[in-house]
Amino acid sequence: MTDFADLPDGWVVWSDEDDGRSVLAYRPDVFDADDFPAPCLPTLYLTQGKRSRRPGVNPGDRVLDENWYVTLYLEPDVSLEADRFSSREKALERAVSLARQFDDGEIDYRDLYQVPRERYFERLDELTGRREP
């Protein structure tokens, strides 16, 4: 549905629905459930209306409104606060920008966790070129 031409190579379009919803996944070739639990696949959700539940619980469960939201999930209970936009175009720009920031190691994902996953962090650090502080 949408042109994701500027999406960094580490991200793939997981789904792109007719209603404008899109899900982007980070390196599904690495976070493949063999080495990491499946819920650890970093994902970006672009939705009209704010998601009212965690990803994977009930994908259609969201509160519809005219706003568009971009949310980065590291796991179902671990996410960056959703950004709100008045149009899908602006939300799409933010999703691509956030994907690039993540891919470039500019997102401090450690701060989002209450219980760290050190092995997971080490792999994310390696993939994003980030050095542990």
Structure confidence by residue, pLDDT tens digits, 87-123: 999 999 999 999 999 999 999 988 888 887 888 888 8
Task: Reply yes or no on whether the pLDDT at 12 is more than 90.
Answer: yes
pLDDT score at 1 = 46
Tokens at 100, concatenated: 């690039």
Spatial CA neighbour of 92 closest among 31, 6, 12: 6
For the stretch 61-91, pLDDT in tens is 555 678 999 999 998 889 998 999 999 999 9
For the chain, domain boundaries: 11-128
In tens, the pLDDT along 22-44 reads: 999 999 988 877 778 778 899 99
Token pair for 115? 């219980």
Which among 121, 78, 115, 83 has a CA at the least distance from the CA of 99?
A: 83
Position 107: which residue type? Answer: I
Q: Are 118 and 126 in contact (CB under 8 A)?
A: no
| Integer Cα distance of 2 and 88 in angstroms | 10
Question: Element (H or E) spanning 84, and its range?
Answer: strand 83-85
Rounded mean pLDDT, 12-26: 93
Q: By C-alpha distance, which of 46, 42, 24 is closest to 94? A: 46
Q: Which residue has the higher pLDDT, 55 or 84?
A: 84
